[in-house]
Structure 1
Amino acid sequence: MEQKLIKSRLRVRKHGEVFTPTWMVEKMLNVEGVKESCNTIEATFLEPAAGEGNFLMAILERKLDLVKKQYSPTLSHYENYALFALSTLYGIELLEDNAQMCVMNLMEVFTDDYRSVAETYNMKPKRKVLQSAKIIIRANIVQGNFLTRKTNSGQPIIFSEWKMTGDPSRKALPLKVIRSEYTLSEIATGATKSTGERMETGTPPEQISFFSLDESEDHAFKEQGNLKYRTVKITDVYKEETEYVDG
């Protein structure tokens, strides 16, 4: 069946929206330099016009293949390193429906691959791993304008860095990560911050948050002071644990 590249002529005229066909995505990802990065687990990617996630999905598939081949002597290794691979992918999308589809598509790719691997061990996917994947995707995919570096409501675009505290190449479990938040402008200028820092804002950025989580999210954008993210196991990032620090 022929792949649909536009949703409507109006959207093409108004937003210049044309989707990249799968064959072109694969061809572009095979370009020298890009191909090598897709096969490097720690390499990060930012798609400034993510659409429904065609590029990010293809990159995630390649990275998950890498995880299975090089980092998965056990199911626990796969779970840790699959989340690590997922944490390296970022996207910005102007249109709300596309951004929502991007989130759902990435989660589907992750879940399907995880389920397939778990079945080889006669096990089912762990809920905490799937919940952690949802948190990572929600933080890494933003509805906004890459050129203005702002969300549709005028707030700064905020991304999370997921920094491993050890050497992932050693394949020692569990992988531990500390989350730090940066605005897109800070990322562009190479700003440095203390690890674990959260953005102090009264209004949440427009990360796509329609996933249903059991844990309360009311605390996320209250007055934060010196409240910082804690170093946690990567399979526990769904808890969004924080602590108060001096200074």
Structure 2
Amino acid sequence: MKQQVKSKERVAYHGEVFTAEREINAMLDLVKQETERVDSRFLEPACGDGNFLSEILRRKLEAAKKRAIPPRKKRPLPLEYEKQAVIAIASIYGVDLMMDNVLACRERLFEIWDKEYQTICKKEVNEECREAVRFILNRNIVCGNALSLKEVDENGNDTEEPIVFSEWSFVMENKIQRKDYRFDKLLAGDYRPKAAKRKKKKSIEGGYQQMDLYSMWEAKPSDEGELLTSYVTDYRRVQEHGE
């Protein structure tokens, strides 16, 4: 069983307690259909080293495998699986205050993705695609404060830099579009997470409430937010456009 507490100090200063596997699967089963959609987007606002996100990814990759199997065939087509697997990893987002957690989460998700990728694609594994997935993870799993919506420094203190997320979507056969948005601007419109619709909660002093695991992009803001970056490129070469 994975350790739920790294240290008493981290619990005291950051409230860091990792969710157990049984609870994770029970919660994800409540939204089972969404976890089995390759392109459904998930945000974990206190992702730790990826307990929730890793299980979401496993479910998505299983769905990707099924989508890559052509009619009357038993095995997924390697190239189609590769695309579906990129969609799966690109739809997962996480924020955490602790940089060691962020780095561990990125690596954990990559290892899960890469293991399945190599198992399905074997000799057709593409190194550029693997590098592209690492780049996507660097954009999607960020070190920041999900309450203030700011990036944080090495001590976990807010900086002046806002959290920025990249939205990824296939627009042509081998082309993927990246759009970068400030997270605070995305939430500036008429935004209410699903959980808030059922029960209103008091606001937290000087900031935002921690968001529900499933709420990002499931609810619709009143506008699309402030677009910072946009480009279209081959999905295997997103890393060539820098941070």
Q: Same fold (TM over 0.5)?
A: yes
8 Å Cα contact 2:182-2:225 kept in structure 1: no
The residue type paired with residue 39 of structure 1 is E
Tell me the residue number matched to 1:203: none
Counterpart in the other structure of 1:42? 39
Q: 1:192 and 2:224 equivalent?
A: yes
Counterpart of 2:85? 82
Q: Name 1:146's counterpart in structure 2.
A: 146
Distance in 1 between residues matched to 2:140 and 2:181, nearest whole Å: 11
The one-letter amino acid of 2:50's match is: G
* SS state at 2:162 partner: coil
The residue number in structure 1 matching 2:27 is: 28
Give the superposition deviation at 1:241.
7.7
Mapped partners of 2:170, 2:242: distance in 1? 16
Cα deviations by residue, 1:25-62 (Å, 9 ceiling, x for unpaired): 1111101xx11101111210010000001111100110
Contact residue 106 and residue 137 of structure 2 kept, 8 A: yes
Identity of aligned residues (%): 32
d(CA) in 2 for partners of 1:161 and 1:41? 15
Report the secondary structure of 1:231's partner residue. Answer: strand
| Partner secondary structure for residue 93 of structure 2 | strand
Please say if residues 78 and 120 of structure 2, whose CA atoms lie closer than 8 Å, have aligned partners that are also in contact: yes
Answer whether contact 2:169 2:176 (CA < 8 A) is retained.
yes
The code of the aligned residue for 2:233 comes to: V
**Count of aligned pairs between the two proteins:** 198
Following TM superposition, by how much is the alpha carbon of 1:194 offset from its aligned partner in structure 2, in angstroms? Answer: 8.4
Counterpart contact for 1:80–1:235, Cα < 8 Å: no
Q: Which of 71, 91, 113 is matched with 2:116 structurally?
A: 113
**Aligned residue identity for 2:224:** T
Match of 1:7 in 2: 6
Please give the per-residue CA displacement for 1:183-214, whole angstroms capped at 9, x wherever unaligned: 1112213343687x42xxxxxxxxxxxxxxxx
1:100 aligns with 2:103: yes
**Which structure 2 residues correspond to residues 51-62 of structure 1 after superposition, within 5 A?**
51-62=48-59
Q: Which amino acid aligns with 1:141?
A: I
Structure 1 segments (4+ residues) deviating >2 Å: 189-195
Separation (CA, whole Å) in 2 of partners of 1:241 and 1:50: 25
The Cα shift of 1:71 comes to: 2.3
**Secondary structure of the corresponding residue to residue 106 of structure 1:** helix
Provide TM-score, normalisation by structure 2: 0.76
Q: Secondary structure at the match of 1:155?
A: strand
CA distance in 2, matches of 1:88, 1:107: 13
The aligned runs of 1:140-219 (5 Å cut-off) are 140-152=140-152, 153-166=159-172, 173-174=173-174, 176-189=175-188, 190=221, 191-192=223-224, 197-198=228-229
Would you say the 8 A contact 2:179–2:231 is kept in 1? Answer: no
Q: Distance in 2 between matches of 1:148 and 1:45?
A: 19
Task: Provide the aligned C-alpha RMSD in A.
Answer: 1.9
- CA drift of 1:74 comes to 1.4
Q: What is the match of residue 65 of structure 2?
A: 68
Q: How far apart are residue 87 of structure 1 and its match?
A: 0.6
Specify which structure has the bigger relative contact order, considering alpha-carbon pairs within 8 angstroms and separated by 6 or more residues: 2
- The residue type equivalent to 1:130 in the other structure is R
Instruction: Determine the C-alpha separation between the residues in 1 that align with 2:232 and 2:2.
Output: 43
User: Which consecutive residues of structure 1, in runs of 5 or more, have no partner in the other structure?
Assistant: 167-172, 199-228, 243-247
The answer to whether the 8 A contact 1:83-1:235 is kept is: no
1:135 and 2:141 matched: no
User: 1:234–1:13: structure 2 CA closer, same or farther, 3 Å change rule?
Assistant: same
| Comparing 2-11 and 184-193, the one that deviates more | 184-193
